[in-house]
């Protein structure tokens, strides 16, 4: 009996089972739209279940890791690496989107049929509520979106990060505010007497481990959940809109694949794993990111696989991942840059050096400002770039929301995978012994981190002489 249960469990967790579930979901979404609507609640239930675990894991992970970091001597080095890595990563993502737009010219090569299709979407949206595109927000497109969503201010968004009532923030699921509270609490606990602080930290550790167990158990339902989630997402895509924006979507996927490959190279260099093993060690995280389109839902699994699969120091990874997934939306930054170039070409707006700098820097500012905001509200941060360039914001929001079911899975994957790569750079792998490498031959020793037996032999030989 136990052997049978183990075999079923192993089969459910096998990558082939997950791929079968995802493939089935795509087929159902394309050809059986009614079935997709019927099974959609199953996927929604699974996603809600994962989101239930996000806040306890995120809060306790931040508090534990930040407190341990501040008590250690390596805090300054870690924080400086974190700042440099995040800034460089965001600028790189923006540059990729900008270059793809300039080289691929997705908005300059639209044929007449595509422009007519886009016109139909925009005309239809004027007589409908934007709730059709973004159920979480009611905006009438007859009104001025530019006025309703005034140009974002970084000062205002920094102010809005502070929760006036943490219990309201917990109740509303305001992840950015909860993150801010957790960071402040983690810093404060590191300065109180160690005996008192350790008592609180032990309770946090127990909560973290309990919800980690819940997440591990939920993974057995992953193939079925991804099937229903993808079926629902694929069934929502409008073929006419997709055709009209196909060049934009293709460029977005090319940029995403480039960033993912670059991430794998970084993980390979920092961990010593083979190129394909970097994906295999993060397989559950990547599948959850694509299937749920929710970086927070993938975060608990990412924390576990970073530590167990990539040997990243737990306290540092537990600090970097929640912070990165909340604030550093690399996929969003790339989309903002590419979308600005796309609509500039669509409206035949010339782009000089100054305009390109506005797009490069504005995409990073807009992407950070969009952290934690839903659908249309997040896209309204495009005003950072659109306003200086004189581009209309309302059509951009409508069209980007229309192709969101197609673009969001790959962008979530980019966000999560890039933050995993950033964690390996910032945290650095834990030192491995020769026994560890013998037990796991996939991992190759990194010379900078591992003292090889030959070096020790040479030292001992010199002493003898």
DSSP 97-141: HHHHHHHH-TTTS--HHHHHHHHHHHHHHHTSBGGGT-TT---BT
Q: Is 42 exposed, middle or buried (0-12, 13-18, 19+ CB in 10 A)?
A: middle
> Cα–Cα distance between 370 and 372 in angstroms, integer?
6
**Alpha helices by DSSP H, 236-329:** 239-244, 246-271, 275-280, 283-292, 295-310, 314-327
> Cα–Cα distance between 373 and 149 in angstroms, integer?
12
> Cα–Cα distance between 341 and 391 in angstroms, integer?
10
Do residues 396 and 344 make contact, with C-beta atoms less than 8 angstroms apart? no
> Of 337, 273, 312, which Cα lies nearest the Cα of 419?
312
> Cα–Cα distance between 329 and 317 in angstroms, integer?
17
Q: pTM of the entire structure?
A: 0.72
Question: Which residues are 312's β-sheet partners?
Answer: 429
Q: What is the mean pLDDT of each run of 10 residues along the chain (465 residues)?
A: 58 75 82 83 84 84 82 70 89 94 80 64 50 34 38 58 81 79 87 84 89 84 83 67 76 94 92 88 88 83 88 81 86 92 86 90 84 66 84 81 82 93 77 44 42 41 44
Do residues 63 and 201 make contact, with C-beta atoms less than 8 angstroms apart? yes
Do residues 100 and 251 make contact, with C-beta atoms less than 8 angstroms apart? yes
Domain boundaries, the chain: 2-430
34 to each of 40, 223, 232, 235, how far by Cα in Å? 10, 20, 10, 9
Identify the residue whose tokens are 């060690």. 281
> Cα–Cα distance between 42 and 374 in angstroms, integer?
22
Do residues 201 and 188 make contact, with C-beta atoms less than 8 angstroms apart? no
Do residues 249 and 403 make contact, with C-beta atoms less than 8 angstroms apart? yes
Task: Name the architecture of domain 2-430.
Answer: Orthogonal Bundle (1.10)
> Of 273, 258, 212, 246, which Cα lies nearest the Cα of 58?
212
Q: Longest Cα pair distance anywhere in the chain, in angstroms?
A: 90
Q: How many CB atoms lie within 10 A of CB 245?
A: 25
The pLDDT of residue 111 is 63
> Of 156, 153, 79, which Cα lies nearest the Cα of 316?
79
The pLDDT of residue 386 is 86
The pLDDT of residue 121 is 58
Task: Retrieve residue 363's tokens.
Answer: 């995409």
> Of 325, 295, 296, which Cα lies nearest the Cα of 57?
296
> Of 306, 357, 304, 299, which Cα lies nearest the Cα of 325?
299
């Amino acid at each position: 009996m136990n052997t049978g249960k183990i075999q079923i469990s192993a089969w459910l967790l096998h990558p082939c089972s997950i791929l079968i579930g995802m493939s089935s979901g795509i087929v159902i979404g394309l050809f059986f739209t009614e079935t997709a609507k019927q099974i959609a609640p199953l996927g929604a239930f699974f996603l809600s279940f994962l989101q239930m675990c996000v806040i306890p894991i995120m809060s306790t992970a931040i508090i534990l890791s930040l407190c341990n970091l501040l008590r250690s001597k390596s805090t300054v080095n870690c924080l400086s690496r974190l700042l440099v890595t995040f800034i460089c990563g965001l600028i790189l993502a923006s540059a990729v989107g900008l270059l793809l737009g300039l080289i691929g010219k997705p908005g300059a090569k639209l044929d007449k049929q595509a422009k007519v299709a886009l016109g139909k979407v925009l005309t239809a949206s004027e007589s409908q509520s934007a709730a059709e595109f973004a159920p979480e927000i009611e905006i009438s497109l007859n009104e001025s979106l530019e006025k309703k969503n005034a140009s974002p201010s970084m000062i205002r968004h920094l102010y809005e990060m502070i929760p006036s009532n943490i219990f309201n923030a917990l109740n509303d699921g305001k992840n950015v505010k909860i993150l801010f509270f957790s960071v402040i609490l983690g810093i404060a606990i590191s300065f109180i007497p160690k005996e008192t602080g350790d008592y609180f930290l032990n309770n946090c550790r127990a909560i973290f481990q309990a919800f980690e167990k819940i997440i591990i158990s939920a993974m057995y339902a992953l193939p079925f959940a991804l099937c229903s989630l993808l079926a629902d997402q694929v069934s929502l895509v409008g073929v006419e809109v997709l055709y009209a924006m196909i060049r934009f979507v293709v460029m977005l996927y090319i940029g995403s694949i480039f960033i993912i490959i670059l991430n794998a190279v970084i993980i390979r260099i920092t961990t010593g794993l083979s190129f394909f093993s970097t994906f295999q060690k993060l397989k559950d995280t990547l599948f959850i990111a694509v299937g749920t389109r929710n970086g927070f839902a993938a975060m608990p699994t990412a924390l576990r696989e970073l530590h167990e699969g990539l040997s990243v120091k737990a306290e540092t990874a537990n600090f970097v991942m929640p912070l990165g997934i909340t604030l550093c939306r690399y996929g969003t930054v790339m989309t903002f840059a590419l979308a600005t170039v796309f609509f500039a070409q669509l409206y035949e707006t010339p782009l000089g050096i100054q305009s390109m700098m506005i797009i490069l820097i504005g995409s990073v500012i807009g992407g950070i400002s969009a952290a934690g905001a839903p659908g249309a509200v997040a896209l309204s941060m495009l005003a950072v770039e659109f306003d200086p360039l004189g581009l209309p914001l309302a059509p951009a929001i409508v069209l980007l929301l229309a192709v969101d079911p197609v673009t969001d899975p790959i962008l979530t994957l980019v966000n999560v995978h890039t933050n995993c790569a950033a964690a390996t750079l910032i945290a650095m792998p834990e030192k491995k012994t020769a026994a560890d490498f013998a037990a796991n031959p996939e991992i190759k020793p990194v010379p900078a981190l591992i003292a090889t037996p030959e070096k020790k032999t040479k030292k001992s030989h010199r002493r003898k002489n």
